[in-house]
Amino acid sequence: MTPPVRRPLRERPPDVADAPLNGIIWAMPRGTSEVSEPMFFVLAALRAGPLHGHAISKSIKELSSGRVQPSVGTLYGILERLNERGVITVDREETVNGRNRRYFRITDEGRTLVEAEARRMQEAASLVLRPIT
């Protein structure tokens, strides 16, 4: 497997010059432009709309074809961190079976971040997948 491509600090990639995401991703310190895989899948799951914990867990499993299945403790740790950093937020709360249930929603910042990450991975993949001339 090809290691991920790391870019120098604050250098904007020439082929994504029109991307509105550079403010977030390319201004970050060297080597920190990736979100972790479970975080990426959480953000990807929430792009479809607000979801509660169990639905996020199921969505991650589907999106990753069963490869990524964080435990509930890990998932909620990720949700709390993403919430603290403002990339997701609590959309609403419901009570089901007498228990509280939070629905999480991705914020504009989170959407920008996950799209930038997808673009970065796409660039990295294209280095390997494009025909060699």
Binding site for other proteins (CB under 8 A): 25, 28-29, 31-36, 39, 52-54, 57, 70-77, 80-82, 85, 87, 92-102, 113
Q: Are residues 37 and 68 in contact, defined by beta-carbon separation less than 8 angstroms?
A: yes
CB closer to other proteins, 14 vs 73:
73
**Residue 21 near residue 51 (C-beta atoms within 8 A):** no
Distance CA 128, CA 13 (A): 17
Nearer to other proteins, 37 or 131 (CB): 37
Residue closer to other proteins by CB (options 29, 131) is 29
CB of 18 to other proteins, least distance (A): 22
CA dihedral 49, 54, 60, 66 (to 10 degrees): -150
Q: Least distance (Å) from other proteins to the CB of residue 133?
A: 34
Token pair of 22, please? 């550079």
We find the least distance from the C-beta atom of residue 25 to other proteins, in angstroms, to be: 8
**Distance in Å, CB of 27 to other proteins, minimum:** 10
Residues comprising the chain, all counted: 133
Asked if 21 and 95 touch (Cβ cutoff 8 Å), the reply is: no
Helices (H) and strands (E) in the chain, counts: 5, 3
User: Whose Cβ is closer to other proteins: residue 78's or residue 129's?
Assistant: 78
